[in-house]
Homo-oligomer: A and B are copies of this chain.
Amino acid sequence: MHESLTIALLQARETAMSWFRPVLNRHNLTEQQWRVIRILAVHRSLDFHQLASEACILRPSLTGILTRLERDGLVWRMKPVSDQRKLFASLTPRGEALYQEASHQVEQGYREIERQFGPEKMAQLQGLLYEFSALPPPSDDV
């Protein structure tokens, strides 16, 4: 009987989040909202599908998250005239400012984690995770 890998991943994630959750709470952000903001901060403007994929959020969930982020004045949503089915999102100036503030504190967290865990093991873990995530999806003949 294998030890549950999925639970191990969950617990590790919980451990990591314990460093960041206080920061997000201070800014009244949920984890998911922060993921979206973080990604938009890098890409300036992204289409719905890519955003969902990078943030690890399913489309139906993202719909609500973006609605609330726009309600709170952190994000703009727009449809390209050429294809009104699609949706793009980008940070408002206020969202941008919030990102600048929060990202510093998040970086602090990462430095502290790296200090505790060691930069080598940290890199090793990240490497294994990426490699694992690159595995081909299971064949459907289960």
Residues of chain A at the chain B interface (Cβ within 8 Å): 1-20, 22-23, 31, 35, 38, 55-56, 103, 105, 107-110, 112-114, 116-117, 121-122, 124-126, 128-133, 135-138, 140, 142
List residues of chain B with CB within 8 A of the CB of A135.
15, 113, 116-117
List residues of chain B with CB within 8 A of the CB of A140.
22
List residues of chain B with CB within 8 A of the CB of A56.
7, 10-11, 14
Give A98 to B136 CA distance when docked, in angstroms: 29
Check B116 against A136 for contact (C-beta < 8 Å): yes
Check B8 against A10 for contact (C-beta < 8 Å): no
Check B3 against A126 for contact (C-beta < 8 Å): yes
Give A12 to B16 CA distance when docked, in angstroms: 15
Distance (whole angstroms) from the CB of A18 to the closest CB of chain B = 6
Give A136 to B12 CA distance when docked, in angstroms: 12
Check A112 against B128 for contact (C-beta < 8 Å): no
List residues of chain B with CB within 8 A of the CB of A2.
107, 110, 114
Distance (whole angstroms) from the CB of A101 to the closest CB of chain B = 14
